[in-house]
Amino acid sequence: MKNLSRRAWLKTSALGIGAISTLSKLPLQAASSKSIDYVSLARELPLPANMQVPMRARLLANENPFGPSPKAQQAIMDSISQGNRYGHSDAQYLIEMIAEKEGVKPANIMLGPGSTDLLEKTAIALCRHGGNVVSADPSYLSLVNTAKAVGATWKAVPLTLDQSHDLDGIAQSMDKETKLVYICNPNNPMGSITNFEAVKSFCKNNAPKAPIFVDEAYLEFLDNPQEKSAVNLVAEGHDVIVARTFSKIHGMAGLRIGYMVATEARIKSVTDMVRSTMGLCITSLKGAIASFQDEAFIAECRSLNKSSKEFTSEQIHSLGYQEIPSHTSFMIFPIRTSADTFAKSMLAQGVGIRMYAIENQPWCRVSMGTMEEMNYFIDALKVTEG
Ligand SMILES: Cc1ncc(COP(=O)(O)O)c(C=O)c1O
């Protein structure tokens, strides 16, 4: 079944069977050996330097082209004159709003300037005495990289053939040295999901052994995100840390706000070392408070993202590409030229994308922009690999 699924997405691509066999040859043995300095299956490739072309479509950082919400913008403008004050009371207000929505207490919430900050602080707090962190590969690497930088090792568990987390493999890789498990659901850079109920059972079964960090940066692009979230496990007392961000569906990436939800003891284990709200701007806090209440804006972004994805998917299929089905605000697909040639051509046409090498195969990850931007992307793609 899992095999069929991978074949299904590759069947219309020019890569064919060669790519299937390459992608199936995942270095499973690396996952279980502590001594191997594991190198990720996916490498984010640097974009060509010195290309001073005006950007017509910025589709390289999974930003939301429709944000921030007009209400958030107004709140930010109104708060500029309060810039002489620390934002402690606004931070507390936002924490209380989040706590109410997530069904937890304010003491279960930690804010940060973006969820990157929270991923890094958690990694520092929990991995600074060594041990290992277990996560899927390919996946988002902020937490893993920081954990490695402070002395932990990484046990990487390749994704299954249908691009979901190998939860059994992750459980088997955990040992008495495991300080943290990281699950990114939906996953970046693959855009794929892991069955939400399976993730919840995994958390319940394994959180007694080590804290499980579930990064839900893209969850709100799905319908009924609250049902899919692992956040309820925190209220039940499980040692699960759920991170969310205002950078994606709220369209506030440059304003830097994110939060995590965890047991009071787990939050304290991080805030004993670093402060939760000191890195936050009053303007961003006011914007986040307004955006959090702007449900109509969120629903509109979800719907516009879906339209851009449907359009892009259809268009790239007609050009012979096949993306991994996306549950996020971006999609990734294997390309037919070298990553360098591809990126140079796209950038020369004013289209920013992100390139990955996954097991030596170049892939293009494109963020969903406005319909106009997606049209630019498709036009540039036709020229690039036409
Ligand atoms: C999976 C995932 N987690 C976290 C982040 C970090 O986002 P931020 O620090 O802007 O909240 C990103 C950004 O792309 C992401 O893709």
What's the pLDDT score for residue 37? Answer: 56
Report the C-alpha gap between 145 and 112 in whole angstroms: 18
For the entire predicted model, the pTM comes to 0.91
User: How far apart (Å, rounded) are the C-alpha atoms in residues 358 and 380?
Assistant: 23
Q: Which atom of ligand 1 is nearest to the CA of 218?
A: 1
* Residue in 341, 322, 320 with CA at minimum distance from that of residue 332: 322
Distance 222 CA to ligand 1 centre (A): 16
Give 70-295's CATH code, choosing from 3.20.20.190, 3.40.109.10, 3.40.640.10, 1.10.3720.10.
Answer: 3.40.640.10
**pLDDT at residue number 30:** 37
CATH number at 2-65+302-385: 3.90.1150.10
Given CA atoms 50, 43, 365, 121 in this order, what sign does their dihedral have? negative
CA 250 to ligand 1 centroid distance, Å: 13
- Cβ atoms of residues 158 and 300 within 8 Å: no
Q: Which atom of ligand 1 is nearest to the CA of 62?
A: 14
Q: What is the pLDDT of residue 47?
A: 74
Mutate to test the pocket of ligand 1, among 59, 142, 257 (most ligand atoms within 8 A of CB): 142
Q: Which residues contact 107 (CB under 8 A, 6 or more apart)?
A: 264, 267
Instruction: Compute the 3-state secondary structure of the chain and give helix, strand, coil in percent, each to the nearest 5.
Output: 45, 15, 40
Q: How far, rounded to the nearest angstrom, does the alpha carbon of residue 211 sit from its chain's CA centroid?
A: 19
What are the structural domain ranges in the chain?
2-65+302-385, 70-295
pLDDT tens for the chain, residues 1 to 386: 343 344 444 444 444 333 433 343 333 333 333 444 577 778 888 777 766 778 899 999 999 999 999 999 999 999 999 999 999 999 999 999 999 999 999 999 999 999 999 999 999 999 999 999 999 999 999 999 999 999 999 999 999 999 999 999 999 999 999 999 999 999 999 999 999 999 999 999 999 999 999 999 999 999 999 999 999 999 999 999 999 999 999 999 999 999 999 999 999 999 999 988 899 999 999 999 999 999 999 999 999 999 999 999 999 999 999 999 999 999 999 999 999 999 999 999 999 999 999 988 999 999 999 999 999 999 999 999 86
Mutate to test the pocket of ligand 1, among 58, 63, 110, 116 (most ligand atoms within 8 A of CB): 116
Atom of ligand 1 nearest to the CA of 245: 11
